[in-house]
Amino acid sequence: MAEKQATDDTPIFNLQRIYVKDISFENPNSPEVFAEANKQPKVKMSMDLSHRKVNDEHWEVCIKINAETRVQESDKLVFEIEVEQAGVFFFHNIPEEHVPLLLNVDCPTIIFPYTRQIISQLSVDGGFMPFTLEPVNFNALYQAKLQEAKAKENATVQ
């Protein structure tokens, strides 16, 4: 009986599924842009992280990345990629104070390599060199977000 209770109280965190929620590749200026795309393009990127509770023990975590590349001289759009990749994670007996760290650091760290691969493959399938995203330190982003929230809170108090 004690073994069963110890097992029931054991924290469990695992990935249930990774999937694409939304994907888009636009190459509106082809084939003319292929002649101009050999030079280093200007890149504009954004990344958004979201999460929502699905039920008592499951969370969905999403990474949404938008990458736009343009020709330096003419500002002509080379290509634009938008990917929203998600994962469903199982949380059982996770202490409440650990949940934000899992949702903002561990879950996106697990999902990101899949998102990175999709973006690289989309650029290749679009006729371009692989568009490889740099690794992301989700812990540093989360810590910066906490510091920013704390600074806002201190500014409001004063």
Q: Which domains does the chain have, with CATH numbers?
A: 13-149 (3.10.420.10)
pLDDT at 3: 39
Mean pLDDT computed over 55-62: 96
The predicted model scores a pTM of 0.85
Question: What's residue 2's pLDDT?
Answer: 35
Q: What share of the chain is helix, strand, coil (3-state, %, to 5)?
A: 40, 35, 25
Residue 6: per-residue pLDDT: 44
The C-alpha atoms of residue 158 and residue 151 are separated, in whole angstroms, by 11
Mean pLDDT taken over the chain:
90
Inter-residue contact 111 to 85 (CB < 8 Å): yes
What average pLDDT does the segment 109-120 reach?
A: 97
Average pLDDT of 114-140? 95
When mean pLDDT is compared across 63-72, 113-122, 143-152, the lowest value belongs to 143-152
Compute the average pLDDT of residues 96-120.
97
